[in-house]
């Protein structure tokens, strides 16, 4: 969706910020802000020529934290974009290190296109060589979490069967054959402020479902 096709007026009184892809109808992220939140700055992209044109990263800075909205590339069924995905992942880690130098804790939200552990998808055995569950993708996710971040959902739910994406094929979602690839990661410095983090799989309208966090800013 392009910004000029879905204007801020549709979300009133929320203010919307966008980072859209150069290619029409392809990727992009948007962040909606309550008028009660005081915004300090907005940053689009990571300064990476290879991926910034796809509109995959949007940072909004507030008084006590920075929100990183991200939509990681998919490696595709035949792994045709695996190199692109791994380049993005490496550059994203470096970018987060740069953000940390600004002295504020991070909150990362979005579709990372990785199921981290076996409990994060319904068929781990059959997907070990497939996009989204490749060893190198999972290793990157582990590294990401080791950089001072906590998987907020796993603070409250440690069992399997919790997913955020399902194929649109008939009956798949009804049988809960899914993947958990959408995350909210919070800085360890903010972990004690998190009150809850949960999925809403009953919410239809997309092949993904919403992920919600409740925390004190």
Residues annotated as part of the active site = 71, 111
User: Distance of alpha carbon 76 from its chain centroid, rounded?
Assistant: 17
Note every long-range contact of 125-133, with CB atoms under 8 Å and residues 24 or more positions apart, other chains counting.
130/77, 131/74, 131/75, 131/76, 131/77, 131/79, 131/82, 131/85, 132/74, 132/75, 132/179, 132/181, 133/179
Secondary structure element (H or E) that encloses residue 84, with its range: helix 82-100
* Contacts (Cβ under 8 Å, ≥6 apart) of 186: 105, 106, 107, 108, 149, 150, 152, 194, 213, 215
DSSP per position, 87-123: HHHHHHHHHHHHHHTTS--EEEEEE-----SGGGBS-
């Amino acid at each position: 969706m392009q910004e000029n096709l879905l204007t801020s007026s549709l979300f009133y009184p929320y203010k919307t910020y966008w980072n859209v892809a150069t290619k029409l109808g392809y990727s992009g992220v948007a962040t909606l802000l309550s008028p009660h939140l005081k915004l300090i700055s907005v940053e689009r992209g990571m300064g990476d020529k290879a991926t910034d044109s796809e509109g995959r990263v949007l940072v909004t800075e507030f008084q006590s934290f920075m929100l990183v909205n991200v939509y990681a590339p998919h490696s595709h069924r035949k792994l045709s974009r695996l190199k692109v995905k791994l380049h993005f992942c490496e550059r994203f880690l470096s970018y987060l290190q740069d953000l940390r130098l600004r002295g504020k804790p991070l909150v990362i939200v979005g579709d990372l296109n990785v199921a981290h552990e076996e409990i994060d998808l319904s068929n781990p055995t059959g997907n070990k060589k497939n996009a989204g569950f490749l060893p190198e993708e999972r290793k990157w996710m582990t590294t990401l979490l080791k950089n001072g971040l906590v998987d907020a959902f796993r603070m409250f739910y440690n069992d399997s069967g919790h997913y955020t994406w399902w194929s649109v094929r008939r009956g798949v979602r009804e049988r809960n054959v899914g993947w958990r690839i959408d995350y909210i990661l919070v800085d360890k410095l903010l972990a004690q402020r998190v009150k809850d983090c949960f999925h809403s799989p009953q919410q239809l309208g997309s092949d993904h479902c919403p992920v919600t966090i409740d925390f004190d800013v």
